[in-house]
Amino acid sequence: MATAAKSTATAREAAAADAAGANAQDIEAELARVREDIAALARSVQSFGSAKTSEVKARASKAGTDIAEASQDALDQVRREFEDLERQLQGQVRRHPLQALGIAAGVGFLAAMLMRR
């Protein structure tokens, strides 16, 4: 009977060892799956970040181009306005040369007076 009890205890110990080994293997397999999931998640986050970075770069580039075009348009408009004013001034001087000469002399006299002080 002692032998039978010993053999039952040994069988129980073997079964417990097998169960513990199976549990350890299950845990290792689960850890491997978790590591793979984390690696996949990291790749997804990296892809998302790269896509967002590209999108922001494209938006910034477009905004820079839009600003440059708007600046050039404003500069062209100002240049056209100055050219129009110059033509108008030339027309006035041609129509009234003595008046233009008098105004120029008066402005020159005032500028000389201001610079002396």
Mean pLDDT of 76-98: 94
Model confidence pTM above 0.85: no
* Token pair belonging to 14: 């073997």
* Token pair belonging to 93: 């001087």
* Token pair belonging to 65: 């181009």
* 1 pLDDT higher than 60: no
* 6 pLDDT higher than 70: no
At 96, phi and psi to the nearest 5? -130, 70
The pLDDT tens digits of the residues spanning 17-66 come to 666 666 878 888 888 999 998 988 888 888 888 888 888 888 888 998 99
CA atoms within 13 A on the CB side of 1: 0
Give the integer Cα–Cα distance in Å for 33 and 89: 84
H or E, element range at 36: helix 2-95
* 4 pLDDT higher than 90: no
The pLDDT tens digits of the residues spanning 101-111 come to 999 999 999 99
Could you tell me the pLDDT band of residue 83, with boundaries at 50, 70 and 90?
A: very high
